Amino acid sequence: MTKTVGGIKAQTGLQDSLQMWYTELQNNHSGNIFRVDRVLESYDSKFQRIDVLQTVGLGKALALYGSLMVTEGDYNAYNEALAHTALFAHPNPAEVLIIGGGDCGCLTNVLKHPEVKTATMCELDKEVVEVCKRHFPKLTAGLKDPRAKVKFADGKKFLETTKNKYDVILLDLSDPIGPAAELFQKQFHQTVFERLKDDGILVAQSESPFYNQEIVKTLYSNLDSIFPLVRMYLCHMITYPSALWSFAFCSKKYHPLDDFDQKRYDKLARKMKNEYYNSDTHRASFGLPEYVKRLLPTI
Ligand code: SPD
54 with 173, same domain: the answer is no
Q: Is the pLDDT of residue 6 over 80?
A: no
- Whole-number Å distance, alpha carbon 198 to ligand 1 midpoint, is 28
Q: Are 257 and 86 in contact (CB under 8 A)?
A: no
Number of domains making up the chain: 2
Helices marked H in the chain: 14-18, 75-87, 105-110, 126-135, 155-161, 186-194, 213-226, 262-272, 279-284, 290-293
Contact 245, 205 (CB under 8 A): yes
Per-residue pLDDT tens for 69-104?
Answer: 999 999 999 999 999 999 999 999 999 999 999 999
Is residue 10 located within the same domain as residue 156?
Answer: no
**Does residue 228 surpass a pLDDT of 50?**
yes
Q: How far apart are CA 279 and CA 15, in angstroms?
A: 46
**Does a structural domain hold residue 251?**
yes
Mean pLDDT taken over the chain: 94
Shared domain for 188 and 41, answered yes or no, is no
Is 172 marked active-site? Answer: yes
For residue 101, which atom of ligand 1 is closest to its CA?
10
Residue 179, pLDDT score? 79
Q: Catalytic: which of 103, 167, 172, 175?
A: 172
pTM of the model: 0.94
Q: Is residue 68 predicted with pLDDT exceeding 60?
A: yes
- Domain with 106, as residue range(s), is 74-293
101 in a domain, yes or no? Answer: yes
Is 298 part of a structural domain of the chain? Answer: no
What does R_g of the chain's alpha carbons equal in angstroms?
19
Q: Residue 59 belongs to a domain with what CATH number?
A: 2.30.140.10
**From ligand 1's centre to the CA of 69, what distance in Å?**
4
Answer yes or no: is 275 within a domain: yes
Q: Does residue 103's CB lie within 6 angstroms of at least one atom of ligand 1? A: yes
Flag whether pLDDT at 17 surpasses 70.
Answer: no
Residues 42, 79 within the same domain: no
Percent of the chain whose predicted confidence (pLDDT) is above 70: 94
Query: Which atom of ligand 1 has the smallest separation from the CA of 106?
Result: 10
Residues 217 and 244 placed together within one structural domain of the fold: yes
Q: Are 152 and 126 contacting, i.e. CB atoms less than 8 angstroms apart?
A: yes
- Output the residue whose Cα is nearest ligand 1's atom 10: 101
C-alpha 114/C-alpha 130 separation (Å) is 26
164 found inside a domain: yes
Does 299 map to a domain? no
Q: Is 237 in the pocket of ligand 1 (CB under 6 A)?
A: no
- Please tell me whether residues 232 and 103 are part of one structural domain: yes
12 and 137 fall within a common domain = no
Say how far apart CA 66 and CA 142 lie, in whole Å.
Answer: 26
Q: What is the pLDDT of residue 13?
A: 52
Q: Is residue 118 part of a domain?
A: yes
Residues 87 and 28 in one domain: no
- The answer to whether position 140 is within a domain reads yes
Q: Please give the Cα distance from 256 to 21 (Å, whole number).
A: 39
For residue 16, pLDDT beyond 90: no
Question: pLDDT tens digit string along 171-224?
Answer: 999 999 877 899 999 999 999 999 999 999 999 999 999 999 999 999 999 999
CATH number of the domain encompassing residue 275: 3.40.50.150
Closest CA to 85 of 243, 196, 204, 191: 204
Same domain for 121 and 179: yes
Q: Is the pLDDT of residue 8 over 80?
A: no
Both 46 and 159 in one domain: the answer is: no
CA dihedral 287, 292, 296, 297 (to 10 degrees): 110
